[in-house]
Amino acid sequence: MTRSILSGIRVLDLTNVLAGPFATLHLGLLGAEVIKIENPKDGDLARKLGIVPDLNDQLMGTSFLAQNANKKSATLNMKAPEGKEIFRRLVATADVLVENFRPDVMKRLGLGYETLREINPRLIYCAISGFGQTGPDADKPAYDQIIQGLSGEMSVNGDEHTSPLRAGFPVCDTVGGLNGAFAIMAALYHREHTGEGQFIDVAMLDSIMPLMGWVAANWLIGGHPPTLMGNDNFTAAPSGTFRTRDGFLNLAANKQEQWESVCDVLGLPELKTDPRFQKRDIRKQNRRQLTPILEERLVQKTTKEWVGVLNERGVPSGEILSLQDALAQPQIKHRGTLKDVPVEGIGTIPLFGLTAQFEKTPGAITGSPPRLSAHTAEVLESIGVSAKELEELRAKGVV
């Protein structure tokens, strides 16, 4: 029987919407017991977000379903004295706590890290926010698109006609969650050697900036500001999107030998010695002259035909798929990127599993996204709350 990497690790998940839930999703996929602590009224806001109104009404919106497999849902009013007491008892049993409130929300509740580490010195407390816990912008509200704009990410997308342009998915939320999960794993490793818990401060703004490392380095080190290039790749030419008979082709001839193979495949060997295109850096400067020459040949065949012959010659190329086709492509099916997960009252739905494939400790989806409060009784029983006490707490609206 395989063992999960985080088997035996208890995570208290106080997060909402995306960045935090994406972090705890990965901890859950690695085998941690993730207890999602939600407000008793309507839980995580993501429960109401999605394209299917009926699921939103059930508090099982598609946005929630996408990020919350392998979690237990327990409701708790953390403003009530009884709720705070129960939360403290849960903290005493926990290894990790993750929240994505604005800075000082937990402190105002009397449940900040300084207080909780007195209860549990081994606790790893990860706070994920837009701007971090300190600094001139720390208290500002933040959503993904706000961070995309402030990070410069939108300014480097598109061309002179379309920039600024946001990424088509919440990239800052997502990478903030991944950064949080990575940091928690590192903190668990540290605790394994020292016995010490610690506080982790993750900012979405911090998290997205290094992803633009190559673009930023051109400015920080080379003094060259970003050039709006649309679908062209600034590192090489020809490298970008090119027109074919039936659509477009992604082509990345980033090495000199790949460029020469492109010339041979397209029947344009003379370009290899053309002074405008012979050397890499000169070729980049003259890409606007090069692209029409290549497309004159590329439009003679379909994208699929060119992809086949170019890849055979070792030139990276590929079709530009719709999301629907991308999700259904054979490689994704072969890798098992999507898993069919039965959800009571909804049916079987496809969800993303853990994409890192471990030889000895594979991650898996072992539990469907939970209904609100589905595990309250189980979780409270684990800290000694009796059935009678649970009924009293429900009567008071604490759970």
Tokens of 284: 């980049």
- How far is 389 from 395, CA to CA, in rounded Å? 10
Tokens of 116: 């909780």
- How far is 390 from 399, CA to CA, in rounded Å? 8
> In this structure, are residues 12 and 35 in contact, taking their beta carbons and an 8 Å threshold?
yes
Sign of the alpha-carbon dihedral angle for 211, 148, 178, 184 = positive
Q: Please, what is the end-to-end C-alpha distance for the chain in angstroms?
A: 37
Tokens of 331: 């490689």
Name the catalytic one among 13, 44, 144, 173.
173
DSSP 257-324: HHHHHHHHHTT-GGGGG-TTTSSHHHHHHTHHHHHHHHHHHHTTS-HHHHHHHHHHTT--EEE---HH
DSSP lists the bridge partners of residue 319 as: 249
Residue 354 region by backbone torsions, left for phi larger than 0, else alpha for psi between -120 and 50, else beta? beta
Other residues' Cβ atoms within 10 Å of the Cβ of residue 167: 15
Write the burial class of residue 148 (CB in 10 Å: 0-12 exposed, 13-18 middle, 19+ buried).
Answer: buried
> Cα 308 to the chain's mean position, in Å?
32
Active-site residue, 201 included: no
Residues known to be catalytic: 173
